Amino acid sequence: MKYLSDVTTLKLLPEKCTGCGRCVEVCPHGVFKLSDKKASVTDRDLCMECGACAVNCEFGAISVNSGVGCAAAIINSMLYGGEPSCGCDGNKKSADCC
Amino acid sequence: MKELKFISAGKQNDKNTASCCSAEKKNLISEASAIKDTCCCTENSKLPEWITGAAETPVGKACKVSTAWSLADHWGQIKSRTSGFRMKYSVKPGLYAAGNPDKDSDVLVSANYKLSFDILRRSLQGMNVWILVLDTNGINVWCAAGKGTFGTNELVNRVQEVQLNKIVNHNRLIVPQLGAVGVNARSVQKITGFRVCFGPVYAKDIPAYISSGYKKTEEMRTIRFTMADRLILTPMEINPALKKFPLYALIVLLIFGLKPSGIFFRDAWSGGMPFLFLGLISVFAGALATPVLLPFVPFRSFALKGWIAGMLAAFFTIQSSGIIHQGNIILLIVACLFFPLATSYIALQFTGSTTFTGMSGVNKELRAGIPIYITGVAISLILLIVFKLGEWGIL
Ligand code: SF4
Ligand code: SF4
């Protein structure tokens, strides 16, 4: 399943990439693949902006504007200001992923 | 039998008792606190069923956990998936043991949401591993990682607090992949010396992951969102929507019952009933049908998906039941305008629970959607006023 096309803020700077493979290890949507010691993006539209890749790329090759993709949280932050945060009850995501 | 051994094991360590437990049930409690503070002070001051004993470590004891679920665990899962109960369903952070782990055993990191912990231990049958439970305020790994409570700091502190370096003689920590949002592997290694391996997304793949030498297949690192996953999330969509229903019902009944000479209950009911019924249909179209049938409803936008589901639901309900009199063109327009928008709005809320929607997309939908929702509601109200004026013979 894919969400809206061409909205993700994900950016990969290939010149900084050392091919360590962390991004492939952490991305739950298979957005990255490694070939010839360089990471590349397979399909941007699969990205859900969780930020795991950017947090764990120690070479600063990835940037993404991450945050909660939760309508209630965003509406709350529109109404009352502040960053959207998943005050929408926690534990909403399917908890089966341990 | 097990219980007895457990208790006597605890007595030897009675001097550790002091800190945190009430005096009642002395034996059980002293036992519990003997276990290095890991599992004492559970809510009702007695050891839960899933703790089966104590495991020795060089720096004290850790609670041994069962890899099977008891009836209470199943019941807890049902309650936590359907109600606010999940907000207080937690286990005490610290080190636990599954099987008979030793110095070479792997360390699996988890959150202290009881359901996350249960799902993890259930998938460890026949394995000997340590479980390091972080304090995430009882929130699951993914949500907690997003908030930062399942994060670098907490992991580092917990590793140091339980003195993990004295318990195992390797430097490998297996952290759930979805925790990667909050855990900076590089910092953890710098501070603690432990190397973070991000394990599979799903706990059930852990045995295969470990036995393959910590290699993840593409499937193990990909998050899914099956129909069953979606269905299991719908109670948490339906409940909040239904909570707002009484207010909606009150407004509808007031509008339809209002006469220049007062409020008439009979008119309120006969006039308002179709709108109450359609409101209920909208809730289920947006909070149940749209999530469950998500990939089959056209468009990628949740607002559009919801609108289509709502339009179909309202159309077929009106057609088949004839609850809005065909001649009543104003009410018909209001119904076709309002209910699909309501469904759309409710469906949009589901973005908070999916595994694939991102913030930029939801922002875009809201920026486009909110003005439309507000306009739609305003026009509906104006049309209802026109309808009422006509009914009262003023227009
Ligand atoms: S984590 Fe960064 S450096 Fe490593 S492969 Fe990915 S982009 Fe390249
Ligand atoms: S932000 Fe998340 S989903 Fe997007 S590429 Fe990075 S890890 Fe993958």
Q: Is the pTM of this model over 0.90?
A: no
Question: In this model, does residue B395 exceed pLDDT 80?
Answer: no
User: For residue A62, what is the DSSP state?
Assistant: E
| Helix or strand (DSSP H, E) at A41 | strand A38-41
Supply the Cα-derived Rg of chain A in whole angstroms: 15
Question: Least CB-CB distance to A98: which of B138, B176, B182?
Answer: B176
- Stretch B17-26: mean pLDDT: 33
CA of B137 from ligand 1 middle (Å) equals: 32
A-chain residues within 8 Å CB-CB of B202? 96-98
Domain that holds residue A18: 11-80
**Which residues have a Cβ under 8 Å from the Cβ of B236 and sit 6 or more positions away?**
A89, A92, B81, B82, B353
The rounded Å distance from CA B228 to ligand 2 centre is 24
Q: Give B113's strand partners.
A: B90
Q: Is the CB of A26 under 6 A from ligand 2?
A: yes
Asked whether A41 and A68 are in contact (CB, 8 A), the reply is no
Q: Which residues of chain A have pLDDT under 50?
A: 87-89, 94-98
Of chain B, the end-to-end C-alpha distance in Å amounts to 84
Q: Is B209 exposed, middle or buried (0-12, 13-18, 19+ CB in 10 A)?
A: buried
- A33 CA → ligand 1 middle, Å: 10
- Which region among A20-24, B262-266, B364-368 has the lowest average model confidence (pLDDT)? B262-266
14-53 of A, contacting B, C-beta below 8 A? 22, 24-30, 46-52
Contact A69 B352 (CB under 8 A): yes
A33 forms beta bridges with A40
B99-151 pLDDT, tens digit per residue, is 999 999 999 999 999 999 999 999 999 999 999 999 999 999 988 998 889 99
pLDDT digits (tens, 9 = 90+) for B347-358: 999 998 899 999
Dihedral sign (CA A52, A54, A55, A58): positive
Mean per-residue pLDDT for B361-384? 96
Q: How many domains are there within chain A? A: 1
Are B263 and B287 a contacting pair, CB within 8 Å? no
Report which of B94, B108, B99 is spatially closest to residue B35, judged by C-alpha positions.
B94
Tell me which amino acid residue B302 is. Answer: F
Task: Confirm or reject: Cβ of A44 under 6 Å from ligand 2.
Answer: no
Among B60, B43, B62, B50, smallest CA distance to B108 is for B62
Which residue among A8, A47, A55 is best mutated to probe the pocket of ligand 2, counting the most ligand atoms within 8 A of its Cβ?
A: A47
Determine the Cα–Cα distance for residues A54 and A64; give it in Å rounded to an integer: 6
Quick check: is A40 in a domain? yes
Angle formed by the axes of helices B359-391 and A71-80, nearest 10°: 80
Residues A45, A5 contacting (CB under 8 angstroms): yes
Is A24 close to ligand 2, i.e. is its CB under 6 Å away? no
Closest chain A CA to residue B351: A70
pLDDT, position B31 = 37
Asked whether residue A59 is assigned to any structural domain, the reply reads: yes
In a domain, A71, yes or no: yes
Region B233-246: mean pLDDT is 93
Q: Are A69 and B186 within 8 A, CB to CB?
A: no
The helix/strand/coil state of B111 is: strand
CA atoms within 13 A on the CB side of B187: 14
* Element (DSSP H or E) covering residue B174: strand B172-175
Q: Is A83 within 8 Å of A70 (Cβ atoms)?
A: no
Q: Which two tokens stand for residue B371?
A: 């003005």
pLDDT at B32 over 90: no
- Mean of pLDDT values over B179-186: 96
User: CA-to-CA distance for A70 and A77, rounded, in angstroms?
Assistant: 11
Q: DSSP string of B9-29? A: HHHTTGGG-TTT--SSSHHHH
Domain annotation covers residue A6: no
Q: Which segment of B36-45, B336-345, B375-384 scores lowest on mean pLDDT?
A: B36-45
Q: Is residue A87 part of a domain?
A: no
CATH architecture of B15-224: 3-Layer(aba) Sandwich (3.40)
Model confidence band, residue B317 (pLDDT cutoffs 50, 70, 90): very high
Q: How confident is the model at residue B45 (pLDDT cuts 50, 70, 90)?
A: low
ipTM > 0.95?
A: no
| B362 contacts B303 by C-beta, under 8 angstroms | no
Pairing of strands B60-65, B94-98: parallel
Q: Is the confidence at residue B286, as pLDDT, over 90?
A: yes
Burial class (CB in 10 A: 0-12, 13-18, 19+), B247: exposed
B219: amino acid identity, one letter: E
pLDDT of residue B159: 97
pLDDT for residue A94: 45
As a whole number of angstroms, the distance between CA A97 and CA B369 comes to 31
Look at ligand 1, atom 2, and give the residue with the nearest C-alpha.
Answer: A57
Grouping H, G, I as helix, E, B as strand and the rest as coil, residue B116 is helix
> Do the strands B51-57 and A32-35 form a parallel or antiparallel pair, or are they unpaired?
unpaired
CATH number of the CATH domain containing A20: 3.30.70.20
The domain spans of chain B are: 15-224, 228-391
Report the phi/psi class of residue A37: left, alpha or beta, with left for phi > 0 and alpha for psi in -120 to 50.
left
To the nearest whole Å, the CA of B126 is away from the closest chain A CA by: 18
Does A21 reside within a domain? yes
The percentage of chain B sitting over the pLDDT mark of 90, rounded to a whole number, equals: 74
Read off the pLDDT band of B367 (50, 70, 90).
very high
Residue B141 has a CB neighbour count (10 Å cut-off) of 31
| Residue type (1 letter), B370 | I
How many Cα atoms occupy the beta-carbon half-sphere of B344 within 13 Å? 26
SS3 of B80, please? helix
The pLDDT, as a whole number, for residue A91 is 52
Give the 3-state DSSP-derived string for B273-316, with helices as H, strands as E and coil as C. HHHHHHHHHHHHHHHHHHHHCHHHCCCCCHHHHHHHHHHHHHHH
Specify the residue for token string 């795991």.
A52
